[in-house]
Amino acid sequence: MMSSDQIPAENETRPTIYLKDYQPPAFRIERVDLDFDLQEEGTRVTCRMVLQKLAADQDDLVLDGDAGLKLLSITLDGQPVAADRLHRQDETLRIKAVPDHFTLETVVEIEPQKNDRLEGLYRSGGQFCTQCEAEGFRNITFFLDRPDVMSIYHVRITADKALYPVLLSNGNLVETGDLANGRHFALWHDPFQKPSYLFALVAGDLDCLKDHFTTRSGRDVSLNIYARAHDLPKCRHAMESLKRAMRWDEEVYGLEYDLSIFNIVAVSDFNMGAMENKSLNIFNTKYVLADPEISTDDDFDHVEGVIAHEYFHNWTGNRITCRDWFQLSLKEGLTVFRDQEYSSDQGSRAIKRIQDVRILRAHQFAEDDGPMAHPVRPESYMEINNFYTVTVYNKGAELIRMMHRILGADGFHRGMDIYVQRHDGQAVTCDDFVAAMEDANGADLSHFALWYSQAGTPHLDVREDWDDKTKIYSLYFKQYINPTPGQSTKAALHIPILMGLIGPNGGEMAARLIEGDADQTEKGWLLHVKEAEAVYRFTDLAAKPVPSLLRQFSAPVQLSSPVDDGQKHFLVRHDQDEFSRWEACQDLMIDAILKGVSAISLQKPMPDVSELIESCAALLKDADRDPAFTAEILTMPSEAYIGQKMTPVAVDAIHEAHQYLKKALADGLASQWRDLYARLANKGPYELTAEHKARRALRSVALLYLCFGGDSDPALKHYQTADNMTDRLAALRILSHSDDDDLRERIFADFYNRLAHEPLAIDKWFAMQALSLRPDCLDRVKSLLRHDAFSLRNPNRLRALVGSFAAGNQLRFHDISGEGYRFLGKIVGEVDRFNPQTAARLILPLSTHKRFDPERSAMMTSVLRGLAANKDLSRDVYEILTKSIS
């Protein structure tokens, strides 16, 4: 099934690591004592560990340790280790001829004050903090820095008491005290064994929001969220979310928190979203602070989702962790599934599903279709940081979701119970997870498990047939997956398809299945397509049904369905599955835009979209029944998503056809938008209730169409009367495209002055300018690089300006001049010198060059080649470049 047609270029300093080469660790670390002496100019780390040899044939101990570690001393069982027994190479330290059981003590000096990689120990806003996943611990000290080496940690932190009154690490606080010279110390002990990637330390001058939670068995847990004093009131939503998540995990999974302290710290310089370190979660401020002044309704939901995600890791990730980094989806796919389900239970299940599918299609399908495509359980990597991907996370969650559907909720939870009982305290594999699901249900998931090893999004072509004489309705399925790097041939997968048959009156039709492998469920038929081709036949039908296929998006596939436009309009109105109603309407919009694109290239008249307008009119009439859903269904697919539907991507024609449909919907429903907008006006002050959120969402959509004709007044007024960020940003987004220079300047200046003291709001200010469709967008982005508030070193800021432009503004980034590409190349080259992890993410939009026309593609590759010429390139960026160019 596998071939090696595209193994990336490698060299000695950047070896490729393979799953097939996995070897269990040769030593166990029974206990580790860490001592941190934090100083302004360099930190001293003493690490004493008790080691036990596991592999009798191993004479030497090989520790991981970054080249930047300055080794001050090393003793073995109290005796200095002679220099000729030590060998340092690349990122390792070899100690020759060690005994079977011994204590090793190293003292190193590191420079967190100069650490801009934001991996290991670094400084953010005057405080010390750590980020160790995946391999950051080796920047702190010499260690067996791999997830299958778990040990018990005792941590002592010493620092200046005035500058760093708060000293935190994992587990329980054992002792504190004052020392000479205005210094103090804290001693922490974590009773649970853990891998080094879950270690954390924080020292700083932070305020704390306190609360507590009583677990169902009666344990009282003290909950603390640490942040700058100014931000403390913004932590309340996170705290409430945390308590809801703790309760939910008890109720749904029977999983309880296991210590009497749970700490969260907010830091403003962070490469990712947040980190689940044992009992000391460290969060990007973006995912912990929430306040109506600076956060949109979506931001509130994201905070709740990420708080839940990190908390859920305590069981799925920490108590049970990964054997090696190829198994990353073991904890991430499962935990994303858990946080998605949690959020569904807090709000609307259908809307949560629509939003998750949007993300999956926009990012994961694109990844599966490009040079970085990899299985949910990758077979190889050069830099593990590059594999924290939408494939491992979101497609991984889809795999769990499919198992949940195939086994049923009860079967799935039986499997989870066995998984936890069997593997608590262990470092395990994705296969172990699947085996627990099988054993709990007497099921055979060996075919299903191919989803873990096979990359690429399956295509599923469906044909139908109706025999009016026999009243037999047949569905023919054909699946195939295009080759991906390293996998030229693919096997058929087990694809679960939830579907229904809808009769002429719009109701669900009862039918009898006479051929095909399927179960009947409450939500419809669950088909199990397992072969390259499959046939299903239904009978006992009075008339030809309309099929509603792939309800709830029951599998991450690209479906091409036999449903025609007329039937789609019917489904928009009648399908009992809300996801499928949304899907039918999206399909109609995509179709209309694609027809527009081909009309433009053939210089033909633009398509007639009157039927689509009529369907949308019907949805608007019914808007009050579910305003949040109406907002989703009337939101057009993005230009980038249309781009995915064609090769080469017709950048400019897509934009034109997209605008055409938007204008048609704006004009065709003008009075409806006006009425709706007026009817949904704020009655009373802001509230964060589901009802208010839904109303704001639909009103923002109405505003968008209302202004689309070129009348900015409603947006201006919306902006000026806003008493919250959701409304303010909805208006700002519209005004960012305005060609009225004065108006735009005035509003952006107002926003800046109003919120200059709130970094997360200023990130939005940068992003809105980078997403503008105005022709001068890139000039503006370039001049913003020199703005006082801009810094390449803060990842949130960098992503807001440069990331939004490159990944979110298809029209301007892919401008035919190639300026956007060269701009991105230059920034990535600079950022790579100090923050490779974030640089490597930023470059990804250029890796899709094969999807563009020869002219653009040549300019994109030339930027990639230019970067690749740099000998000092990080392993992170190097891997993406070589895979993209080959």
Catalytic residues: 310
The binder of 673, among Zn ion, ligand PHE, none, by C-beta within 5 to 8 A per type, is none
What are the Cα distances from residue 881, in Å, to 539, 842, 854, 856, 864? 55, 12, 19, 17, 6
At its nearest, how many Å lie between ligand PHE and the CB of residue 131?
Answer: 6
Nearer to ligand PHE, 276 or 583 (CB): 276
Nearer to ligand PHE, 310 or 369 (CB): 310
At its nearest, how many Å lie between Zn ion and the CB of residue 313?
Answer: 6
Residues of this chain, 423-482, that bind Zn ion according to CB under 5 A:
none
Which residues is 70 bridged to in the sheet? 109
Q: Is residue 339 a contact point for ligand PHE (CB under 6 A)?
A: no
Nearer to Zn ion, 309 or 568 (CB): 309
Nearer to ligand PHE, 310 or 583 (CB): 310
3 state SS of 514: strand
Whether the CA torsion 432, 436, 439, 444 is positive or negative: it is negative
Residues of this chain, 297-336, that bind Zn ion according to CB under 5 A:
332, 335
Residues of this chain, 370-399, that bind ligand PHE according to CB under 6 A:
388
The binder of 135, among ligand PHE, Zn ion, none, by C-beta within 5 to 8 A per type, is none
What are the Cα distances from residue 174, in Å, to 188, 261, 262? 5, 12, 15
d(Cα 863, Cα 528) in Å, to the nearest integer?
Answer: 45
DSSP secondary structure string, 158-170? EEETTT--EEEES
The binder of 320, among ligand PHE, Zn ion, none, by C-beta within 5 to 8 A per type, is none
At its nearest, how many Å lie between ligand PHE and the CB of residue 272?
Answer: 4
Q: Is residue 310 a contact point for ligand PHE (CB under 6 A)?
A: yes
d(Cα 765, Cα 786) in Å, to the nearest integer?
Answer: 15
627: phi then psi, degrees, rounded to nearest 5: -60, -35
At its nearest, how many Å lie between ligand PHE and the CB of residue 768?
Answer: 26
Nearer to Zn ion, 285 or 335 (CB): 335
What are the Cα distances from residue 794, in Å, to 118, 649, 834, 835? 10, 32, 11, 10
At its nearest, how many Å lie between Zn ion and the CB of residue 339?
Answer: 8
Nearer to Zn ion, 335 or 484 (CB): 335
d(Cα 718, Cα 705) in Å, to the nearest integer?
Answer: 14
Q: Which residue is nearest to ligand PHE (CB)?
A: 272
Q: Is residue 133 a contact point for ligand PHE (CB under 6 A)?
A: yes
Alpha helices in 294-383 (DSSP H): 297-312, 328-346, 349-359, 366-368
Nearer to Zn ion, 98 or 330 (CB): 330
- Of 317, 291, 270, 326, which Cα lies nearest the Cα of 16? 326
Element (H, E) at 630: helix 627-633
Residue 801, classified by CB atoms within 10 Å of its CB into exposed (0-12), middle (13-18) or buried (19+), is buried
Segment near ligand PHE (CB under 6 A); pick from 209-217, 271-279, 704-712, 861-869: 271-279
Q: Is residue 276 a contact point for ligand PHE (CB under 6 A)?
A: yes
d(Cα 291, Cα 26) in Å, to the nearest integer?
Answer: 50
Nearer to Zn ion, 335 or 772 (CB): 335
Nearer to ligand PHE, 428 or 698 (CB): 428
Residues of this chain, 755-784, that bind ligand PHE according to CB under 6 A:
none
Site string for ligand PHE, 407-426 (x = CB under 6 A): --------------------
DSSP 260: S
Segment near ligand PHE (CB under 6 A); pick from 94-102, 207-215, 273-281, 493-501: 273-281
DSSP secondary structure string, 203-236? EE--EEEEEEEE-TT--EEEEEEEE-GGGGGGGH
Nearer to Zn ion, 32 or 330 (CB): 330
The binder of 190, among Zn ion, ligand PHE, none, by C-beta within 5 to 8 A per type, is none
d(Cα 227, Cα 206) in Å, to the nearest integer?
Answer: 5
The binder of 769, among ligand PHE, Zn ion, none, by C-beta within 5 to 8 A per type, is none
The binder of 299, among ligand PHE, Zn ion, none, by C-beta within 5 to 8 A per type, is none
d(Cα 667, Cα 706) in Å, to the nearest integer?
Answer: 8
Q: What does the radius of gyration of the chain's CA atoms come to, in whole angstroms?
A: 28
The binder of 388, among ligand PHE, Zn ion, none, by C-beta within 5 to 8 A per type, is ligand PHE
The binder of 203, among Zn ion, ligand PHE, none, by C-beta within 5 to 8 A per type, is none
3 state SS of 148: coil
At its nearest, how many Å lie between Zn ion and the CB of residue 332?
Answer: 5
The binder of 275, among ligand PHE, Zn ion, none, by C-beta within 5 to 8 A per type, is ligand PHE
Nearer to Zn ion, 317 or 845 (CB): 317
- Retrieve residue 130's tokens: 């750590």
At its nearest, how many Å lie between ligand PHE and the CB of residue 364?
Answer: 15
Residue 138 CB neighbours (<10 A):
25
Of 43, 124, 131, 391, the residue at the interface with ligand PHE (CB under 6 A) is 131
The binder of 124, among ligand PHE, Zn ion, none, by C-beta within 5 to 8 A per type, is none
Give every CB contact of residue 20 below 8 A, 6+ residues apart in sequence: 379
Q: Is residue 341 a contact point for ligand PHE (CB under 6 A)?
A: no
Query: Parallel, antiparallel, or unpaired: how do β-strands 70-76 and 79-80 relate?
Result: antiparallel
What are the Cα distances from residue 455, in Å, to 21, 45, 143, 379, 646? 20, 42, 33, 10, 21
Nearer to ligand PHE, 313 or 655 (CB): 313
Segment near ligand PHE (CB under 6 A); pick from 236-244, 269-277, 435-443, 632-640: 269-277
The binder of 404, among Zn ion, ligand PHE, none, by C-beta within 5 to 8 A per type, is none
Residues of this chain, 3-32, that bind ligand PHE according to CB under 6 A:
none
d(Cα 798, Cα 792) in Å, to the nearest integer?
Answer: 5
Of 108, 275, 288, 351, the residue at the interface with ligand PHE (CB under 6 A) is 275
At its nearest, how many Å lie between ligand PHE and the CB of residue 277?
Answer: 9
d(Cα 603, Cα 384) in Å, to the nearest integer?
Answer: 48
Helix 236-253 vs helix 297-312: crossing angle, to nearest 10: 50
Which residues is 534 bridged to in the sheet? 477
d(Cα 375, Cα 489) in Å, to the nearest integer?
Answer: 14
Of 245, 272, 594, 633, the residue at the interface with ligand PHE (CB under 6 A) is 272
Size of the site for ligand PHE (CB under 6 A): 11
At its nearest, how many Å lie between ligand PHE and the CB of residue 638?
Answer: 25
Q: Render the burial of 139-171: b for 16+ CB within 10 Å, e for the rest.
A: bbbbbbbbbbbbbbbbbbbbbbeebbebbbbbb
Segment near ligand PHE (CB under 6 A); pick from 198-206, 309-317, 465-473, 651-659: 309-317
At its nearest, how many Å lie between Zn ion and the CB of residue 306?
Answer: 9
d(Cα 96, Cα 159) in Å, to the nearest integer?
Answer: 35
The binder of 272, among ligand PHE, Zn ion, none, by C-beta within 5 to 8 A per type, is ligand PHE
The binder of 291, among Zn ion, ligand PHE, none, by C-beta within 5 to 8 A per type, is none
Residue 410, classified by CB atoms within 10 Å of its CB into exposed (0-12), middle (13-18) or buried (19+), is exposed
Site string for Zn ion, 334-353 (x = CB under 5 A): -x------------------
d(Cα 803, Cα 809) in Å, to the nearest integer?
Answer: 9
Nearer to ligand PHE, 239 or 282 (CB): 282
Q: Which residues bind ligand PHE (CB under 6 A)?
A: 131, 133, 272, 274-276, 309-310, 313, 332, 388
Q: Which residues bind Zn ion (CB under 5 A)?
A: 332, 335
